[in-house]
A and B are shown apart, each in its own frame.
Chain A
């Protein structure tokens, strides 16, 4: 199973929006509405931001939103803040028990 494809980097100024794509295939992203997104700060464990394409766990600001079209999922961070500078990973169910992560995107707040 190949990793989902994400752009290596993305950036924006404080207050702006940034969108990260996550491209897979009909066997993963396109085949299931079980795409999730994670934020990882340096030296820290990943944190769940979005599940089932567009749902936010309690405590995650509504500045974070997710969507999907065909084989590509997207994460949008609106109103960028300094603390949003981190690595972001998508993940998808591949079969009933297998999962795959994206290649990761480093977001820089300019």
Chain B
């Protein structure tokens, strides 16, 4: 079964750091670009970061550029999001989402991990 499973979300103080993980299974990890998408509870989806199949290309939304870093580890079939200088407005449910093979739609999603930035 094709699956993505996020972990690492917790309560963190403003200005703090956190690393999210996303474990992939059931598909050839290296074939796909991967993304992080977040959603404030009760609000809409926000794309925040992309990494291509081999990690050679990354992209970020302006809202997180310079503070967040996306990476991937083929040996562990895992995607990561290093989040620094966290702000209250980063509080959200963070999803990892797989990019279609040869496409630009998010065809597989995890269930999300909740990050709360609060003092």
Cβ of B45 and Cβ of A89 under 8 Å apart? yes
Q: Any chain B CB within 8 A of the CB of A24?
A: no
CA distance A57 to B57 in the complex (A): 26
Residues of B within 8 A of A45 (CB): 95, 109-112
State whether the Cβ of A1 lies closer than 8 Å to any Cβ in chain B: yes
Whether A38 is near chain B, meaning CB under 8 Å from some CB there, is: yes
Nearest CB of chain A from residue B62's CB, rounded to whole Å: 7
B108 to chain A, nearest CB (A): 8
Smallest Cβ distance from A95 to chain B, in angstroms?
8
Chain B: interface residue count, which band? 20 to 34
Q: In the bound complex, do residue B46 and residue A101 qualify as a contact, i.e. CB atoms below 8 Å apart?
A: yes
Please, which residues of chain B bring their CB within 8 A of the CB of A47? 109
Whether A99 touches B104, Cβ cut-off 8 Å, given contacts A45-B95, A45-B110, A45-B111, is: yes
In the complex, chain A residues whose CB is within 8 Å of the CB of B35: 99
- Across the interface, B47 reaches (CB within 8 A) one of A52, A101, A103, namely A101
- Some 22 contacts from A to B, beta carbons below 8 A apart, are A1-B62, A34-B103, A34-B104, A36-B104, A38-B45, A45-B110, A45-B111, A45-B112, A46-B95, A46-B106, A51-B100, A51-B103, A51-B105, A52-B103, A52-B105, A91-B47, A98-B61, A99-B47, A101-B44, A101-B45, A101-B46, A103-B44
CB–CB A34/B105 < 8 A: yes
A 3-44 binary contact with B (CB < 8 Å = 1; else 0): 100000000000000000000000000001010101010000
With A45-B112, A100-B47 in contact, is A38–B106 under 8 Å at CB?
Answer: yes
Let me know if B50 is at the binding interface, CB within 8 A.
yes
Query: Measured between C-beta atoms, what is the minimum distance from B59 to chain A in Å?
Result: 4
Point out the residues of chain B lying under 8 angstroms from A32, CB to CB: 104
Name the interface residues of A33-83: CB closer than 8 Å to any CB of B. Answer: 34, 36, 38, 40, 45-48, 51-52, 57
